[in-house]
Amino acid sequence: MTESPVNLTCQKCGASPAAKVKFQSLQGLVLMHTIRTVKGTFCRDCGLSIKDQMTSYTLKRGWYSLGGLIGTPIFLLQNEIRAGKLNKLPAPVR
């Protein structure tokens, strides 16, 4: 059974409603790359802030490897799609 967003609270600020989301960033390192993942339950404001941080990091550092050249646009698109869950939430109540 899936929990309703109304019953979930943000793990960062305690506001509700919240949704379970996952955002990822990519850093290209010439011959390889690293991936960072932030996963949790966040309100609209905190979740979108995390998405913006991960997107900014990927835009600045994702392009410096072959895997990064391919992966950066994919990671950016995935984060935007995942943020759609948060965009549907009303303003958080603290």
Which pLDDT value is given to residue 71? 92
pLDDT band at 81 (very low <50, low <70, confident <90, very high): very high
Q: Are 38 and 50 in contact (CB under 8 A)?
A: yes
Q: How far is CA 93 from CA 13, 14, 22, 90, in A?
A: 10, 9, 22, 9
Q: Identify the CA nearest to 67 among candidates 30, 23, 37.
A: 30
> CB atoms < 10 A from the CB of 80, how many?
12
When divided into structural domains, the chain yields a total of 1
Determine, yes or no, domain membership for 93.
no
Domain hosting 69: range is 5-87
Determine, yes or no, domain membership for 47.
yes
Return the higher-pLDDT residue of 14 and 3: 14
Task: Tell me the per-residue pLDDT of 18-74, one tens digit each, with 9 for 90 and over.
Answer: 999 999 999 999 888 999 999 999 999 999 999 999 999 999 999 998 888 999 999
Determine, yes or no, domain membership for 92.
no
Residue 4, both tokens: 């309703």
Determine, yes or no, domain membership for 94.
no
